[in-house]
Amino acid sequence: MVKRLTLLLSSLLLSFQIFAAPPLYLAEVDGLACPFCVYGIEKKLGQLDGVDKIESDLKAGKLRIHMKGNKTLTEAQVREAVKSSGFSLRSFSRIEAESQQ
């Protein structure tokens, strides 16, 4: 009985991991003034390994970075991409699955 219960719980945990949403990050950038600014940053971020899609909010200076599978980003990677585009990274954080809606 205990073995069956353990097997069942293990199977459930594995299925949750398989269907877990890919990582999502929020980057706030100082100095965004126009769509070309956003394009430059999106182009640099898009070159990073695992980046799937980038959503931009020009007025708020925010970028939502969607990743593929279980790929992750570091603040240093994003900071360098933003800096090489001529801007400053104000903040960087991972958005948890519950708040992705």
Q: Could you tell me how far CA 22 lies from the centroid of its own chain? A: 8
Q: Which CATH architecture has domain 21-96?
A: 2-Layer Sandwich (3.30)
Alpha helices in the chain (DSSP H): 2-18, 35-46, 75-84
Residues 24-44 pLDDT 10s:
999 999 998 999 999 999 999
Q: Which residues of 48-77 are buried (b: 16+ CB within 10 A; e: fewer)?
A: bebbeebebeeeebbbebbbeeeeebeeeb
pTM here is 0.75
Q: How many CB atoms lie within 10 A of CB 40?
A: 18
Residue 95 burial (10 A CB sphere; 0-12, 13-18, 19+): middle
Residues 55-64 pLDDT 10s:
999 999 999 9
